[in-house]
Amino acid sequence: MTIQTVDRRTQRRRRLLVARTRAGVAVRSALPAGRSRLELNSAARTLTALGVRVQVIPPPAPWPRAGRRVVADRHGWLADLAVVTAFLAGSSAPAPEVVCPVAVRFRTDAGPLDDVPRTVADVVALPGLVVEVRCLAAGAV
C-alpha cells in the first residue's frame, strides 16, 4: 500500500509548530509547577502541532480510579505521547496497585499503517494520522 504524503508547505508548518511547542515546554519546565500537568500539556501540544489525533477505546470493564499504573506496549515516542494525553499514568490516592494495560496502534484516515512512524519527518508527512489507544482489561500486580 502506497502512503500518500501531505504537501511540503503543511510539513514545514508542522515542523515549525513542533519546534515552537518544544521550546515553550523547555521554558515552562524550568518554572516550578506540577510535573504531571506539565507533561500532559506538553504531550498534547506536541501531538496537536504534529497534526496527530488520539482515539481512546475504553476497556471492557471500568478501570479502578485509584492505585492504577498504565502500561503500554512499546512503539516509541509517539505512542508514549498518546498514552500520556489519554490518561495521566498513575493516581495519587493510596490503594493497592493495579496494572492497566493498553495496546497502541497507528492508522491514517485511509487505513492501518504497516510501519510505525519513527521520526518527526515521518509523522508530519502523514495525512490524518491517528494513534489508537486500546484499553485492555485491568489486572492486579
Angle of helix 35-50 relative to helix 77-86, nearest 10 degrees, comes to 120
Q: Residue 76: what pLDDT?
A: 86
23-30 long-range contacts, CB within 8 A, separation 24+: none
First to last CA, the chain: 41
Element (H, E) at 46: helix 35-50
Mind listing the pLDDT tens digit of every residue in the chain (141 residues)? 556 778 888 888 888 888 777 766 655 555 444 556 777 788 888 898 889 999 999 998 988 877 888 888 878 888 888 988 887 644 555 667 788 899 999 999 888 888 888 888 888 888 899 999 999 998 865
Instruction: Spell out the domain ranges in the chain.
Output: 8-140
Helix (H, G, I), strand (E, B) or coil at 17: helix
Residue with cell 521550546: 23
Question: Strand (E) positions, the chain?
Answer: 53-57, 68-72, 98-108, 111-112, 130-135, 139-140
